[in-house]
Amino acid sequence: MMAGLRRVILQCALVLIVLLIVLSIYGAFRGAEAAQVFFNSIPVGVYWVFFAVLLAVSIGVFRRLLKVPSLLLIHAGCLCILFGGLYGSKLVMQWSDRAGLTEPSMRSGRMILYEGETDNRVMLSVEDASFGKDSSGRIGIFEPDKPEPVMLNDADLRIGKLPFAVRLTDFRIVYYDAPQVIIESDDKKVWRIGAEAGLEYPLGDRGTVTVLRVFRNLKLGMENGRMVPYDQPGPDSNPAVQLLFRAPDGKEEKRFAFAFAGGGHGTGPWSIQYSPPGMIKDYFSDLEVVENGQVVERKTIEVNDPLYHGGYFFYQDSYDTREMRYTVLRVTSARGLVWVFLGFAQVVVGLFWHFWIPRRRGI
């Protein structure tokens, strides 16, 4: 009977793994937002729960796992990853909140903060361009086919509340003072060179680069059957530079670099970007966390350097591009994240232990 049960578990595990591959491919083609909704749906949630139960049962049924610590660590790590993912999922959060098992929480959202403003309200599941605040601090959402925003009260289900408040003391933008070109090779080496026509710069063992021309508004035209770049009079709508890369073997290639990420035209082993004068280098928000009227934490955040407090990450997401009066923060719950990290650590240690250590011992 035990042998039959083990065989059924192995067959179910194989089916679930194949199904996981299929679901992952499907989610990749659907896109990030659609995949997030799909993997938080009830049918897929049932799949995750069944997978976790199967892993837990297998640890008790297959006695060899208890005798081989490395295999036990790998299975326990997978179980931790599934538990952490389920515990922090939107579906489980909604269910636990309705059942009263945990304190009300939110998975993700955005919040707008004006300088000097303190707030704990988070707009849930909308893009930053879809909502805003009026002069009295009320949140309004812009709906299709409606010229005016729909103002929401604080009891609206589209507004979540943090157990603490966040204050924006200052928001500022840092600009590039001088034009420069950022060059990154395929082995991740980075050079920052001045964007001045006629200057030549060394690129280590990769050769040299020369700045040929600097354009305020690059356009391309035809002259004698050839494509010729020229600077069109008018606003600086397409700033760019033309570069000449010269390899150690004498091979040359001309490239254009533009003022946006990945804005390099050509086929060489280079990723290049042009930063004209006045281009934004970074933007910062000075935040304070307020609990019971007292400031308990301060941090200056920037892109990819968030504030973490009370189980939530606060990322610099966007800002007021017209008047620079407010910042937009992306708020993400960290619930379940510790279990996921712990699970990945267990899997890595278990794999290292199982496949490398025995060989070192001559087994």
pLDDT at site 84? 84
Each as own residue / partner, the long-range contacts of residues 99-106 (CB below 8 Å, 24 or more positions apart, any chain) are 103/163, 104/161, 105/311, 105/333, 105/335, 106/160, 106/331, 106/333
Residue 154 confidence (pLDDT)? 79
Mean pLDDT by runs of 10 across the 363 residues of the chain is 74 82 80 72 81 82 80 88 80 65 67 91 69 80 76 81 92 81 86 88 91 88 81 80 90 85 58 79 90 93 90 89 83 86 90 75 45
- What was the pLDDT predicted at 225? 75
pLDDT of residue 48: 82
**Token reading at 129:** 């361009």
Query: What is the spatial distance between Cα 310 and Cα 194, in angstroms, rounded to a whole number?
Result: 44
Please classify residue 243 by burial: count the beta carbons closer than 10 Å to its beta carbon, then call 0-12 exposed, 13-18 middle and 19+ buried.
Answer: buried
Cβ–Cβ under 8 Å, residues 152 and 240: no
Per residue, what are the HEC states of 275-343?
ECCCCEEEEEEEEEEEECCEEEEEEEEECCECEEECCEEEEEEEECCCCCCEEEEEEEECCCHHHHHHH
- Predicted local distance difference test score (pLDDT) of residue 297: 94
Torsion of CA 144, 150, 154, 160, to 10 degrees: 20
How many beta carbons lie within 10 A of that of residue 75, not counting itself? Answer: 18
Closest alpha carbon to 176 in 278, 257, 273: 278
* Per-residue confidence (pLDDT) for residue 128, from 0 to 100: 46
What confidence score (pLDDT) does residue 296 get? 94
In this prediction the pTM is 0.64
User: Between vectors from CA 205 to CA 203 and to CA 211, what angle results, nearest 5°?
Assistant: 25
Nearest to 51 by CA among 93, 11, 17, 96: 17
Nearest to 118 by CA among 284, 283, 291: 291
